[in-house]
Amino acid sequence: MNLIVKDLEFCYTSRTILNKISLELRPCEMLGVIGPNGSGKSTLIQCIDGLLKPKTGSILLDGNDLKNISRKEMAKMVGYVPQTTSRSFFPSTVLDTVLMGRRPHLGWRSSNKDVRNVIAVLKLIGIEDLAMRDINELSGGQQQKVLIARAIAQDPSILLLDEPTSNLDIKHQLEVIEIIREKVMERNISAIMAVHDLNLAAKYTDRIVMMKDGKIFAAGTPDKVLTPENIRSVYGVVAEVINNNGSSPHIIPVRSLRRLGQSLSDNTHPATITSVIS
């Protein structure tokens, strides 16, 4: 399925959050969306999912405007994984929560086959032992894995992932993102993933959109976007970027420009600061 976003704008009262955003998600592609806090990553994903209504612009799924697609039909095509920080859910077991991912396809009745499929997804994510637990009893990281399982069980053509590894330790971050990547390849689906970790974006995405102040600052393959110059301009961070034999770039943050400027200004003429960070 092809997704095209054209000249998208979104505002809260008088504040513009997204400013003329245009991008394309290609079939069987994993697109990373990166940027500092407040850059518009989550708002963009929620607009694509239809949770937020843009002020102007259009979102096309295989040429069909999102405005003309019902929520039920949308749910058959697009799976959404929101951020979660141990929030409260409607009381439900993990099994039933993940089974809800099948509702757009089956209505309110599920078959034994659907239950077996959900159990298989729980095993895939590594949470089958939590199947009969109330989701509200789980940690934030466990809840995040349940929401990812629900989206995969939904069998969508596009996955929208809003910082899907934010509550997970490093081991489970890698496990979950590798599962998502495998599903993109195996099922010929596509995914948009908002992510803070630049190294995860570099390793697991095909292309990256880098956002700043509600606009797209840079877009392209990880090696083209994740440069020291772009990282400095968007994040205000001095970073070393290592590229070895065509592999994904590896980013090593060195220091905040603000802190660097403060420390240098204590002992150095301002003109020298510019030469050090340029």
Helix, strand, or coil (residue 54): coil
Residues 203, 206, 212, 213, CA torsion sign: negative
Give the tens place of pLDDT for each residue, 166-207: 878 898 889 889 988 988 888 889 999 999 999 999 999 999
Domains of the chain: 3-226 (3.40.50.300), 227-278 (no CATH)
Q: If you average pLDDT over every residue of the chain, what do you get?
A: 87
Find tokens 């994904």 and name the residue: 248
Residue partners of 72: CB distance under 8 A and separation at least 6: 104
The string of pLDDT tens digits covering residues 42-70 is 999 999 999 999 999 999 999 999 999 99
pLDDT for the residue numbered 264 = 47
Segment 88-100 shows an average pLDDT of 88
The 10s digit of each residue's pLDDT in 134-143 is: 999 998 888 8
